[in-house]
Structure 1
Amino acid sequence: MATTEIAGLTSLLENLGLSAPVPTYPEAQILENPLDIGRSYLAEILRSLVGVEDGIAYKAITWPNNIYNGDFSVPLPKLSHEKTPKDLASEITSKYKAASNSDMFIIPIPDGVHLRFIFMLKFLPRFLLPYIKDRGLAYGTDHLAGLRDRSNPDLGKKKVVIEFSSPNIESEFQGKNLRSTIIGSFLSRLHQAMGWDVVRLNYLGDWGKNIALLMVGWGKFGSEDAFKADPVGHMLSVWTQIHDLFQPAVVESKKLRDSGGDPAAVESQGLFAERNAIFKKMEDGDPETLVLWKRFRDASMENYKSLYSRLGTEFEEYSAESCFSPDTMAEVEAILRENNLSEESEGSLIVDMEKLTGRRGGGKIMIRDRNNSQTYALRELANILDRQRQHDFDKMIYVVADDHDTHFSRIFKLLELMGRVELSKKLVYVHFSRVSKMAEKFEKSLKMHKILDRCTDEMIKAVEASPDKAVVIGKADSTLSSVAISGLLAQELVARRAAAHSFDAAKMTAFARSSGPEIQYWYMRLDQILHETPPPSNPTALTDEELEIVVEEGSPETNLLRLLAEYPEITAAAYKSLESPGIVHYVDEVLNQLGKCFEMDEPEGGDDEEPEIFSAGQLAVYDATRQVLGNAMRILGITPVEF
């Protein structure tokens, strides 16, 4: 019977000499996390030895997040304030051997105010190998976390809408769009792994005055032949030219505004006037203007979808600024008026947040400009209302660069002032550093597809420079392209969101710690070994002799197993923090420990030696490692390349 069911798990533990069922604690998810089983048994041992109240012992048990500090650590003051840590440690260790279920851990190790516990060598493989084998792709996930009620699955899953990527059609895919795409994809997969119903949403910037300015540029610099040959490349060229031409007027307008003057004179002539006139035509639905707008939008969409395919990113929904609802925008404006939140200012309709909140620096939100055109803020508010009605979400996450900090803080606060407090609480702004070093590595106008091509070129060089890696990875174009994308994803996800966006094609394609190519290499090496010598299909049938190497004192395979037991803790921590580096660093630790296993097993004397021979126990450990490594890669978005 599978250990994914309580009966099967109970049977396995009984066969290992433990009392069953597992002691019950509300926090323990024993079918999802093997360490919770250890916690539960350890809590009962501590409770019986120290006499603390039910639940206190369980909550006192901490996870060191480092196998060299033990599998569990117990801060002794949390168990008792009446005894010194030294006396309490002495009491527990002296009584430990006589405790029920004490065969699960070796005698505890005192360490200052902590007592450290380590799994018995003979227990760990017999318990963990079938536990991981039974769960397979589900190991490290917790599908109950996304339920509306863990105790009542019939109530269904919670739903999250995750908006990410969101490029503008008038300009090329930027570093911050790339980072939003990678982080947003990661958060989507993470929420799916935790049982949520996920809607990936790409909100394209395909409307507004920047698009109107692009149309002005088309009239001055556009070429049908150039557009047919390279639609996106030519659009980018036109945008760059008109943007540079427009900047002096923007600077002059801002200078007047900052000095207390009226910029209306500047904004009523020249490129300002041309831009505003075209935007007015867009809003009025002028057929000729909308035909050109649609050409630009369709060309951009085709380019972006091709790029997303290369990055392994999918969306359930494409939305856009152009998809605004006039009725909902009118509703937003009515709510603002009814609650006395909006006011006229110099011909514009605004919300003075500083006045409403009493906070200095609160700023003003423009709802309609002096030409009565709707603004980004108005469309944002209307979109939130529409999405809530369409999706009835429990949470909506915006994955956007930190240059939007002020925008989202104002929008969320304004929703509260509009009487939508509960809706505002469902909105989460996951921001990341907008600082990108991509421009330092590549020409400013180079398209993202060509940047990815360069990454593949760097990957080819890296493989050619590493013959030992090439033997495993090979030289197939599709494989090298996949490994190069792995390098890009790992480089982005190893950094915390607040860190600057570091983009180095040579570094990301190198075989180095935490790099995508190194991760793929080890996965393929394991896959090769297990393809040539299949692992045992039933880990519970392994004999003591077959497990002998695995349970030796100081065996790297045992330490590797202890790391594999931690994986559900790693994903749970990432889910709580919405950060990816913990998973990347965990994978690096697994590879480091895996390398130690192979250091001991490498044949000596060169290529003429006999091929590597592994015991059934070792193969079972490597099979479990391949499973966990593949699961972690998939959450990161790195597709494991099979040998």
Structure 2
Amino acid sequence: MAAGSWRRSIAAQLSKVLDLPPENLIKSISAVPVSKKRHVADFQLSIASVIENSSSDCLAQDLHLQAQKLAERAVLQQVFKDGSEYGVKSEIFSAVPRQKAVIEFSSPNIAKRFHIGHLRSTIVGNFIANLKLALGHEVVRINYLGDWGMQFGLLGVGFQSFGNKEKLKSSPLQHLFEVYVQINKAAEDENTKKLAKDFFRKLEEHDEETLSLWKQFRDFSIEEYVQIYKRLGVHFDEYSGESHYREKAQEVLKMLEDKGLLQKTTKGTGIVDLSEKKDLSSVCTVMRSDGTSLYITRDLAAAIDRMNKHSCDTMIYVTDKSQSHHFQQLFQILKLMGYDWVERCQHVSFGLVQGMKTRRGEVIFLEDVLNEVRSRMLQNMTSAKTTKEIQDPMETAEKVGLAALIIQDFRGLLSSDYQFSWDRALQSRGDTGVFLQYTHARLHSLERTHGNAQLTDVNVACLQEPDAISVLQHLLRYDEVLYRSSQDLQPKHIVSYLLTLSHLAAVAHKTLPVRGSAPEVAQARLCLFQAARSVLANGMKLLGITPVTQM
């Protein structure tokens, strides 16, 4: 069990009262499940297991009250002692083995501007990586770029026909997008289709001229993506891509053939029979008739390579739910190939975002959304009477705007589609990211005004008011919420917890003034607000939000 946990602290103090060894008591103290929305202490003490055959109701009530008060006192000490590790050091996680996780997320297609469809994959993958890292697991973040395949045959031919090298240097992805639109109009023509196939075949055969052009597309794309990731506060340990596996994909085809799993159709394409009865009622195509690889073949090669390289305990793919069938097939083929570790692979899917329009209309590019949320937030901050003179309003607006996007996205189940609403996302009151940031900034300003509370000087007995106790009891719950999110990889548990914490802190801020109170009371309240701000900041960072100190 984690040393210094609040349960251990309560057990140590109760042992003095009850004259029992603390070890006997730890097992009797358990947290009340988060789902029980009751106004009681957030843990319970099993009286029966402490005092066998006891029928004394008075003793039971007295113990419960004592234990409740002890827990409320202990929680503040725990928050300050553990700091950014509060909650994750809880004994709830003591039985959870530390593991290595490879997480593939974001994965945009190169030579295209960062599409809004990749925002969810990026922020969800980042959240899962942050959470696992915080819980002491080793994490490898992989961005698996869509940088290979027949579309590059088409784009290559398009660039040879309509491309401009100067434009490629000055605004690469915008120019390639324009080229792609033009060549797609021409793609109905059989001759264009043939040229595109030839171009891709040359790529697969390592033709220097076509590879050089493709490499420019890839390098320019990554440069532009890195800027977007910087704005999102996201980083990767590894930039990989389908192109890395063009040769290994051929090895996979050979392996499938050797294992008797590869079958040829009359058209010459390579398939794997996935049907239970082996009657070809469910097949997966893994090779074109000209011998070139497909997306799934490269995915097979990537999975095998990653497992060999990282020997990870779990491999997580974060993509939208339209790819569920693809991952079912991928995992099925790996199983047929005899890779038992496929049981440790997981597809975390998510629904679609609808109705994301900027003032200029329907939007498909992420950069436009980030610029829009920043400018709307800046406008709101400027018109708000409470806005202080902020050192860098643009940067603050960016962070608050991103919080608005993330909280609206994370409030529901990831698998659900949801309707995006600017007005709802940017409200400063209510269950929004703006409200979280506002609460954090407000609590921070208390510390700026009154200085930091020293825990040694604090008399927690001064915190008797119901609004103070509500905050204390809510702080006790944090480890359970982290545990729930770690089990199902859903951020909504943490979002809901942080919104409630912010509402409780906002009420307490009104009813429990620091200024003008007796020194001992002021110090205790300051300590309470500091603990609330600390846990709020920890939770926000896990979600991928940078807390602001002014707004």
Could you state the TM-score of these two structures normalised by the residue count of structure 1?
Answer: 0.77
Residues 6, 75 of structure 2: 8 Å contact kept: no
Change (3 A) 1:525 1:425: same
CA distance in 1, matches of 2:42, 2:389: 34
Q: What residue is the counterpart of 1:264 in the other structure?
A: none
Query: 1:565, CA displacement in angstroms?
Result: 0.4
Amino acid corresponding to residue 596 of structure 1 in structure 2: V
Tell whether 2:395 aligns with 1:478.
yes
Could you state the TM-score of these two structures normalised by the residue count of structure 2?
Answer: 0.89
Residues 537, 547 of structure 2: 8 Å contact kept: yes
Amino acid corresponding to residue 140 of structure 2 in structure 1: V
Q: What residue is the counterpart of 1:405 in the other structure?
A: 324
* Alignment match of 1:462 (pick from 376, 380, 391): 380
Residues 115, 364 of structure 2: 8 Å contact kept: no
Tell whether 2:220 aligns with 1:299.
yes
Where does 1:580-595 land on structure 2 (aligned, <5 Å)? 580-595=491-506
Q: What residue is the counterpart of 2:28 in the other structure?
A: 41
Residues 7, 71 of structure 2: 8 Å contact kept: no
Amino acid corresponding to residue 110 of structure 2 in structure 1: I
CA distance in 1, matches of 2:153, 2:317: 26
Query: 1:240, CA displacement in angstroms?
Result: 2.3
Where does 1:142-541 land on structure 2 (aligned, <5 Å)? 142=89, 157-246=98-187, 248=188, 269-324=190-245, 326=247, 328-345=248-265, 346-354=267-275, 362=282, 364-420=283-339, 422-438=340-356, 443=361, 447-468=365-386, 470-471=387-388, 476-539=393-456, 541=457
Tell whether 2:536 aligns with 1:629.
yes
Instruction: Give a deviation string over 1:146-178, Cα, whole Å, max 9, x none.
Output: 89985xxxxxx4210000000001322223211
Amino acid corresponding to residue 4 of structure 2 in structure 1: T
Instruction: Give a deviation string over 1:546-603, Cα, whole Å, max 9, x none.
Output: 633x113xx2010111001000110100111110111111111011111211232469
Q: What residue is the counterpart of 1:261 in the other structure?
A: none
Partner-residue secondary structure (3-state), 2:161: helix
Amino acid corresponding to residue 585 of structure 1 in structure 2: S
Q: What residue is the counterpart of 1:132 in the other structure?
A: 79
Change (3 A) 1:517 1:424: same
* Alignment match of 2:482 (pick from 546, 571, 574): 571
Tell whether 2:512 aligns with 1:551.
no
Residues 92, 480 of structure 2: 8 Å contact kept: no
CA distance in 2, matches of 1:7, 1:438: 46
Partner-residue secondary structure (3-state), 1:160: strand
Residues 353, 420 of structure 2: 8 Å contact kept: no
Q: What residue is the counterpart of 1:113 in the other structure?
A: none
Tell whether 2:64 aligns with 1:105.
yes
Instruction: Give a deviation string over 1:207-235, Cα, whole Å, max 9, x none.
Output: 11112211122123222232233111111
- In structure 1, the gaps of 5 or more residues are 26-36, 44-57, 80-90, 108-118, 151-156, 250-268, 604-608
Amino acid corresponding to residue 386 of structure 1 in structure 2: D
CA distance in 2, matches of 1:165, 1:276: 28
- In structure 2, the gaps of 5 or more residues are none
Partner-residue secondary structure (3-state), 2:101: strand
* Alignment match of 2:56 (pick from 84, 90, 95): 95
Residues 41, 473 of structure 2: 8 Å contact kept: no
Q: How many residues align?
A: 545
Residues 441, 503 of structure 1: 8 Å contact kept: no
* Alignment match of 1:542 (pick from 447, 458, 471): 458
CA distance in 2, matches of 1:515, 1:296: 39
Change (3 A) 1:535 1:12: farther
Amino acid corresponding to residue 252 of structure 2 in structure 1: V
Q: CA RMSD in A?
A: 3.4
CA distance in 1, matches of 2:166, 2:10: 72
Partner-residue secondary structure (3-state), 2:412: coil
Partner-residue secondary structure (3-state), 1:141: coil
Residues 67, 563 of structure 1: 8 Å contact kept: no
